[in-house]
Structure 1
Amino acid sequence: MDRPANSSPDTRRVSLLPGTRKIIEGVERVYYEGYWIRYYQPPANTLSAKRHLITALTRRLFNHVEHGINISGVRLQQARHAYETALDPALKRVNGAMLAGALFNRASDIIAKLVEIQELGVEIRSDNALLRECGNCLQEALTLGRLVLHRSGEEGIDELWGEPLHAFSIPVEDFFESRYLKIASTLRDVDHIGAALTCCFEEDGDFAAIVPLIRCAIDAAHRKVETLQTDDLIFTVWPEFVVAGENLIHYRPPSASAEDIERVRHQEHGLQLVAQGWAILNDISRARTPMPKTTQSFIRRLEAFRQSGTCPGLLVPLTVPD
């Protein structure tokens, strides 16, 4: 499979300004942080556009964080009371995450109603009290975001929580530009994982044959990261991404004798690392946001496996996402 135009940093010794746009193989791309990323024309900077953007960002946020925190904005006061009265630190964290969810939904409700009023011909000024309340809700939710875990349980994605407030506070075009920077950071994490997996397995007799599958998965992850869900191209990109992951996690090394306990353990640990790597790639690519702590922790486990042939921390088989 050919690598996409954005699949690796542009290493040419040419000074390119961030935001430089160029047609590459018939596709308009924009340059950020060494990557040529598929470009999308931002919508007009209207309250209606912000409403659609914030709604989409909030929905995406809830798709990637722990279950049970998508609390209706109508229940904001109940959520706040539960958080403020919780005494156990572990319970208070979850209540705080639920409060953050309610705040996001309250902000979304407010801006939705303001758009409806605006569509009736009523001017909504920037100093409108409800707009200020919307901003306050998003700001408080952002503060509480540190309490929220990613659905994998490994790491919160603080940047996801900041995006609705960011989209509310700045022009839509500027928000799109900031997203390209995050996409570039995400692509770099994807590449780091791909390079670490390749380095770990390419000279391993049991796993060398998996390297082309790793490359295919990384290419598919690149295309997934840069493609908007609303783009018709997603009907090609998403199936390729899913199948690349399935091919990767279904890889099996040559059969080892049951009596060769060390080799059996080596293969089991290697397969668990492959599954874990795909789970992380899946999380990062779908969220289109870097997860640096999770990425670096995984790379350290790969290095430990490469040096010793086992990874003692991998004792329980992982559940691989669909």
Structure 2
Amino acid sequence: MTTVRHLEIAAAAEPPAEGTRRLIDGQERVYYDGYWIKTYPVPADSLDAKKRLIEALTRRLFNHTEYGLNIPGHRLAEARAAYAAEQDPGKSRVKAAMLAGALFNRATDIFRKLVELQAEGIEVGCDDALMRECGQYLMEAMELGRFVLHRSGEEGIDELWGEPFRAFSIPVEDFYEGRYIKIGQTLRDIDRIAAAMIDTIGQVPLFAGVAGPIRDLAAAAKVKTETLRTDPEIFDIWSSLVTAGERLANFTPGPPTGTPSRCPPPAGSPVHSVSDGLHLLRAGRDLVFYITRARTPMPKSTREYIERCQTYLAIGSVPFAPAPLPA
């Protein structure tokens, strides 16, 4: 399995410009956010390529968001009416998310038909009425994305909801370049989460040996983040990530070697809850998996997780966290 290359910049050296491309060990990589990210060939900028991309992005959306949003496009009018009539704030949020799903599917339906028309030799221009309608649906769905939660119940991933519209409205090559930027930000946040876990949970004597499993998870997650599912190496890469996550989740706390098993903490030090520490480890593992699979940062969830880790180190327990959505 390859490793993601994080550029270490000497004090007097200038980092490469963002977007710099280099051939490293026979593989083209692009530089963003301090990382050399693996690149892939860009499809031709055609209606068919955009259709395939939008379909893939729409499937990806529903794979990462809360359940029940994959409303068929032909039910768009029903979804819109249900949202407009709802008075309860909680139900209104869910119905807004369902409307967004219907809008995405309707836009995909239209785009699919446009590609079929083009295949029959019928010219479809950018100012075609159906093209405009498709763009309007994608734009409306993107605006409703703020109501959608991640499947875990964590924050919504607004970036995912904007991607189909971006794929529709800009050249395919520009869309792919934007994805590399997001991947760089995701790699950065994986490292931030891992560092926070080591600097907080890893400082508690009972968790003294946890740094290695955390680093293994972060390394595997970064490789997976930059790798497409169609890559020949995905079998080794995904299995490495899963097993690294399992090792971290199954970590057994214990006193450092040579330390008495019942050695009391120094006077004035907090007594750290073992169960809370284990809960934090597993929550960190889950968060790394969420952003790795989405290949998109989750800044609110990352910030709140790091704050919980810092609180655990300071007082020995973890503040209450909202329960996840039902699986």
1:42 deviates by: 0.8
How far does residue 230 in structure 1 lie from its aligned partner after superposition? 1.6
Matches within 5 A, 1:91-170: 91-170=91-170
Task: Give the conservation status (yes or no) of the 8 Å contact 1:207–1:253.
Answer: yes
Q: CA deviation at 1:80?
A: 0.4
Aligned equivalent of 2:211: 211
C-alpha contact 2:103 2:138 (8 A) present in aligned 1: yes
Which consecutive segments of 4 or more residues in structure 1 shift more than 3 A? 262-265, 318-321
Q: Is the 8 A contact 2:9 2:15 kept in 1?
A: no
Partner of 1:71: 71
Output the amino acid matched with 1:273.
L
Offset at residue 273 of structure 1 (A): 0.2
1:313, distance to aligned residue in structure 2 (A)? 2.4
Of the structure 1 ranges 247-256 and 73-82, higher mean CA displacement relative to structure 2 is found in 247-256
Unaligned runs of 5+ in 1: none
Q: Does 1:278 align with 2:285?
A: yes
User: Residues 23-62 of structure 1: CA distance to partner in whole angstroms, max 9, x if unpaired?
Assistant: 2223221111211000111111000000111111110110
Whether the 8 Å contact between 2:111 and 2:134 is mirrored in structure 1 is yes
Q: CA deviation at 1:282?
A: 0.7
TM alignment of 1:6-21, pairs within 5 A: 6=5, 8-12=6-10, 13-21=13-21
CA distance in 2, matches of 1:3, 1:125: 43
Structure-1 residue corresponding to 2:36: 36
Distance, in Å, in 1 between the alignment partners of 2:242 and 2:129 is 46
Q: Distance in 1 between matches of 2:326 and 2:138?
A: 33
Whether the aligned pair in 1 keeps the contact of 2:103 and 2:141 (CA below 8 Å) is yes
Kindly indicate whether the alpha-carbon contact (under 8 Å) linking 2:201 and 2:309 is maintained by their aligned counterparts in 1: no
Q: How far did residue 72 of structure 1 move? A: 0.2
Contact 1:69-1:98 at 8 Å conserved across structures: yes
Alpha-carbon deviation of 1:152? 1.1
Residues 221-274 of structure 1: CA deviation (Å, up to 9, x unaligned): 1011100112122111111111110111010112877x99x9996211110000
Out of 290, 302, 305, the position equivalent to 1:295 is 302
Q: CA deviation at 1:124?
A: 1.0
User: Is the contact made by 2:30 and 2:39 (CA closer than 8 Å) also made in structure 1?
Assistant: yes
Amino acid at match of 1:108: T
Counterparts of 2:88 and 2:15, CA distance in 1: 54
Report Cα offsets for 1:67-98 as digits up to 9, x if no partner: 00100001000000000011111111111100
CA distance in structure 2 between the aligned counterparts of 1:320 and 1:207, rounded to whole angstroms: 30
Q: Given the alignment of the two structures, is residue 248 of structure 1 paired with residue 248 of structure 2, yes or no?
A: yes
Question: Which 5+ residue runs of structure 2 have no aligned equivalent?
Answer: 256-260
1:319 CA displacement: 10
Deviation at 1:208, TM superposition (A): 1.4
1:27 aligns with 27
Query: In 2, distance between residues paired with 1:105 and 1:10?
Result: 44
Count matched residues: 316
Change (3 A) 1:133 1:278: same
What letter is aligned with 2:301? T
The letter of the residue matching 1:93 is R
Deviation at 1:202, TM superposition (A): 3.2
Contact 2:272 2:315 in 1 (8 A): no
CA distance in 2, matches of 1:296, 1:27: 33
Show the counterpart of 1:198.
198
Please state how far the C-alpha of 1:311 moved relative to its aligned partner.
1.8
* Greater Cα offset, 118-127 or 291-300: 118-127
Q: CA RMSD in A?
A: 2.4
Aligned residue number for residue 258 of structure 2? none
Is the 1:269–1:314 contact (alpha carbons within 8 Å) kept by the matching residues of 2?
Answer: no
The corresponding residue for 2:171 is 171
Q: Is the 8 A contact 2:71 2:98 kept in 1?
A: yes
282-291 vs 226-235, which moves further:
226-235
Q: Is the alpha carbon distance of 1:281 and 1:319 closer, same or farther for their aligned partners in structure 2, counting shifts above 3 Å?
A: farther
1:311 lines up with 2:313 in the alignment = no
Contact 1:276 1:320 (C-alpha < 8 Å) held by counterparts? no
Q: In the alignment, what sits opposite 1:269?
A: 276
- The alpha carbon displacement at 1:11 in A equals 2.3
Contact 1:5-1:24 at 8 Å conserved across structures = no
TM-score, normalisation: structure 2: 0.91
Would the alpha carbon gap of residues 239 and 319 (structure 1) be closer, same or farther in structure 2, given more than 3 Å must change? farther
